[in-house]
Structure 1
Amino acid sequence: MQFAIQGRFQRVLLALALAGASAGLLAWASVPTPDPSEEKPGGDTTVFEVGLNAFSFPAANLDEAGRTKFAIGNSFFRRNWVEAPSSTAARDGLGPLFIARSCGGCHTQDGRGAPPNTFKHGLSDEQPIALLFRLSVMGADGKPFPEPTYGDQFTNSSVQDVKPEGKVRIRYTELPGKFADGTPYSLRQPSYQFTNLNYGPMQPHTMVSPRIAQQMPGVGFLDTISEADILANVQQQAGRSDAIRGMVNRVYDPFAGKEVIGRFGWKANTGSLAHQSAAAFNGDIGITSEHFPAENCSPKQKNCLAAPRGGVNSGPEIDNRTLDQVIHYEATLAVAARRNYNDIDVRRGQALFAQAQCAVCHRPSYTTDGTSPFPALRDQKIYPYTDMLLHDMGKGLADNRPDGLANGQQWRTQPLWGLGLVPDVNDHSFLLHDGRARNTLEAILWHGGEADAARQQVLKMPKADRDALVKFVNSL
């Protein structure tokens, strides 16, 4: 409770203890007055926007030169790349295998993806774009390596004269349950099948991990959280008497040229925004760069290996300058202000969030230092609601696929800022690593493992408290 339950929250818990209140009853008089800085989760970068474009504004404190670079990076983030050879030399090199034709193809309006058959007019066999699938098999030495035929990521699109790897079929099973007050709920469990495989069968016992595209605002700030703060989270949790025990992933970052703490991806498997961006260009769009120079073609994919390449004089298909402009764009996307942060129900929900220990993993705030390469992000108090650590989330959410130090039941704590604006921007409310949760409450109910005690508290809450908790999370 060292991070979240301080000051006013301590008074909330004291009032609860004195009153002998249960987990589902929070006295109205105990609701804290929020810190005014909470309205601006991105500090001075924050914009007061809602609606379709809420995730797409530049940081409010970005200077003129920064805004120019932002606009250039935006164009390369959103516009489609094309097949080589092409007269559009700055944008050719798509594929040969790919998932999307642009970064914006997965991060629509800089927002969050969804499984293809959960859109209002989608078909159950529509192919995923914003949902990718990591693949690996276990070696004799006990370490995972890419599936020999299809590599480390399944791709269902391709350029002409190259066969796509195949198709994905998604099905759901409903899992019914009840809250303590008798109110029913249902969670949906996804299953995946790979069909129309064009390069032969996958190896038996291939491990599969679905990963949905996350919203972009705030990613630059995640790079500014100091390693000392992240390791302090580990230390604080190690001293707790309950099951919460976060750990860092450690990965090799080609931009840093060394092993660093993992920060990005659902399992914290990339070490910086630059690392994450270049890897996504390569794996999702088929665009090579200085640190990712090889196309994602396995030795068995002969037509993929023989396909034309983009780039100047057989060099990288995205040069360092252009990649830097895209990274600048991503890093300086503004975090939108909270809505209704002073609403009485939101404030009650915030106190319940702390009481249920949600704020231990979803650490509310940090203060950035002055070392960021992006001046707009320096010396800001931010509210991302994450500890940046891996946690065992139980068998229900397990993908059973190791990724670096992360085991098959561990996931990085998801930042919560912007969550309530996803319906505005992307016209859906699907959450978690594979989009299985149809709303915020379902996402909470999927929490297990280290978070099971928090989940049990929510199951015992009366409807008014559940609604207040959800209203708080959706205000972020």
Structure 2
Amino acid sequence: MSLLISSLPKPHSMYLSFAARTTLLVLIVALSACGGSDDDTPSSNPNLPDIPSNPTPEVDTNWLPAGGVATISSDISRPFLQIIPTLPTSSLGNISAGRELFITQWTPAGEGRVLFDGVGPIFNANACTQCHSSEGRQPTYAPNGEMRDAILFRLGNKQGIAHPYYGEQMQHQSIDSSVATEGKMLYDVITAVDSPLSTVSFSFIPTDSNQPLGDSAISGRISPQLVGMGMLNLIPNVDIIAAADADDVNEDSISGRVHWVIEGSQQQIGRFGWKAINSSLRIQNANAMSQDMGLTTSVFAEPNCTVSQFICKTLPNGGFAGGPEVIDESLDAVTEFMTALAVPERRIGNLQTFNQGATLFAQTGCAGCHTPKQKTGDSLRFPLLSQQTIYPYTDLLLHDMGTGLDDGVKEKNAESYEWRTPPLWGIGIVARDPEARFLHDGRASSLTEAILWHGGEAESTKNRFEQLPDDEKQILLTFLNGI
């Protein structure tokens, strides 16, 4: 997880030429969506080291509910995967069906469960809940150097070329016990002599010794908590575009950029996944079904095997009358369930301390990418979710996170060192679990470690955090645990 990326909120348009502003306006009109976002802004702190020249406005501490109408109490024992309670009863039928599809254990083809069959033939999990928990995240690492289900591995290189045999993702399970899986992934924790940080290295033992990884890098990807997904899906394109500053025109060291992806024949804004490779919840769900579970849909109609993996040619596929294994109605139901996921309210012990933490969050530069406040556009399917002020702490842009977080795997147009700013809402609930891991591959065992791994555009933010007095560090961390 790219946590707390830098720097200060930036005024965009004043630095653009008339031509550039005209181009931006045309693009915004072409991608028009309702809604907008308000900037939360910091005030100065004499304890901080010098900060570049951007002005430092006041932080808005007039807190509205964290997820607008999607907000629920954070006191419940299982705060994630909860349905927004204020949705109209007429909407709940398809949401309930989507929840059943989400929690069910899918079976191989031909076992008599037409709506729930077709998993594999190679896969990572046979149920969404193997990776996504109502408590937050499933455990990542076993104590013996082996991996648990809540982490998967992307394969590729800096040019974006997938492995010719294994493809773009490793699958460690097979529906046929007589057929060898792709191999086994192991991990090792490495602590550098000259650094307080430890990292995780991965090694792969192929089942077929004739199929080594070669020049393909291994990138671990832990399963994030699922919270407010429908609200993120409703952040207008125009707001994402307006926050981008790919050429750092305003010279604040932040150069977040939109990840433009091609889906079908259309260019779309990527907003979901560690590298923002999917533009919508529907595409995100279909991609997970394909890569993680080996389920075909109308979006990804081909099995997740390469041409060299004959298991896909020899074992039966599911689906009815030659159609996809997950019919459109089922994919849409899962998407509605994900759209209806609620947002746990903040956990504020002391409002004054919380507000101090919000100010430090802005002053150190965290809010430059982890944008505190967004506003949803209009939803035709769930009008209740329209025009809601929410606090996800993300700009949904790609940022250069430096060599330390360069995983060696390019995906679509996202370079190996670029990561989408992950939403931080609910991160403190996740952190309550002593087994919780952070960053994309789970190398960090605490929020502090995650901050200290930041580099690239976030280098100055990390430095500001390191130079805070211990009491102010704790105030900032208390804030993070409460959002």
**TM-score, normalised by the number of residues in structure 1:** 0.87
1:55 aligned to 2:80?
A: yes
Match of 2:67 among 14, 22, 42: 42
1:253 aligned to 2:263?
A: yes
Counterpart-to-counterpart distance in 1, 2:76 and 2:247? 37
Match of 1:129 among 149, 162, 166: 149
Counterpart-to-counterpart distance in 1, 2:77 and 2:301? 36
Contact 1:163 1:303 in 2 (8 A): no
1:342 is displaced (CA, Å) by 5.0
Residues 134-145 of structure 1 mapped to structure 2, 5 A cutoff = 134-137=154-157, 143-145=159-161
1:318 is displaced (CA, Å) by 0.6
Contact 1:86 1:92 in 2 (8 A): yes
Q: Which residue of 2 aligns with 1:357?
A: 365
1:366 is displaced (CA, Å) by 1.4
Aligned amino acid, residue 106 of structure 1: C
Match of 1:314 among 319, 322, 333: 322
Change (3 A) 1:32 1:360: closer
1:297 is displaced (CA, Å) by 1.7
Q: Deviations over 1:103-153 (max 9, x none)?
A: 111112273344223xxxx4322x331111111257xxxx43321111111
Q: Which residue of 1 aligns with 2:270?
A: 262
Q: Which residue of 2 aligns with 1:291?
A: 299
Change (3 A) 1:80 1:50: same
1:452 aligned to 2:459?
A: yes
Gaps of 5+ in 2: 1-7, 12-37, 51-56
SS in 1 for 2:244: helix
Counterpart-to-counterpart distance in 2, 1:197 and 1:137? 21
Match of 1:201 among 198, 202, 211: 211
Q: Which residue of 1 aligns with 2:441?
A: 434
Aligned amino acid, residue 273 of structure 2: G
Aligned amino acid, residue 395 of structure 1: T
Contact 1:110 1:216 in 2 (8 A): no
Residues 47-446 of structure 1 mapped to structure 2, 5 A cutoff = 47-109=72-134, 111-117=136-142, 122-125=143-146, 127-137=147-157, 143-160=159-176, 161-175=178-192, 186-198=196-208, 200-235=210-245, 238-254=248-264, 257-340=265-348, 343-371=351-379, 373-423=381-431, 428-446=435-453
Higher share of residues assigned helix: 1
Counterpart-to-counterpart distance in 2, 1:35 and 1:438? 32
Counterpart-to-counterpart distance in 2, 1:92 and 1:7? 47
Contact 2:10 2:252 in 1 (8 A): no
1:299 is displaced (CA, Å) by 2.4
1:428 is displaced (CA, Å) by 3.2
Q: Deviations over 1:209-245 (max 9, x none)?
A: 2211111111111211111111111149833323211
Counterpart-to-counterpart distance in 2, 1:66 and 1:53? 23
Counterpart-to-counterpart distance in 2, 1:445 and 1:176? 16
Change (3 A) 1:196 1:226: same
What is the percentage of aligned positions where both structures have the same residue?
34
Change (3 A) 1:22 1:303: closer
Q: Which residue of 2 aligns with 1:468?
A: 475
Counterpart-to-counterpart distance in 1, 2:354 and 2:133? 28
Change (3 A) 1:52 1:428: farther
Counterpart-to-counterpart distance in 1, 2:140 and 2:197? 15
Gaps of 5+ in 1: 25-29, 179-185
Aligned amino acid, residue 348 of structure 1: Q
Counterpart-to-counterpart distance in 1, 2:351 and 2:102? 36
Q: Deviations over 1:51-88 (max 9, x none)?
A: 44101221132111222322211111011000111111
**TM-score, normalised by the number of residues in structure 2:** 0.86
Between stretches 374-383 and 89-98, larger displacement belongs to 374-383
Change (3 A) 1:423 1:137: closer
RMSD between aligned residues: 2.5
SS in 2 for 1:194: strand
1:405 is displaced (CA, Å) by 1.9
Counterpart-to-counterpart distance in 2, 1:369 and 1:242? 28
1:336 is displaced (CA, Å) by 0.6
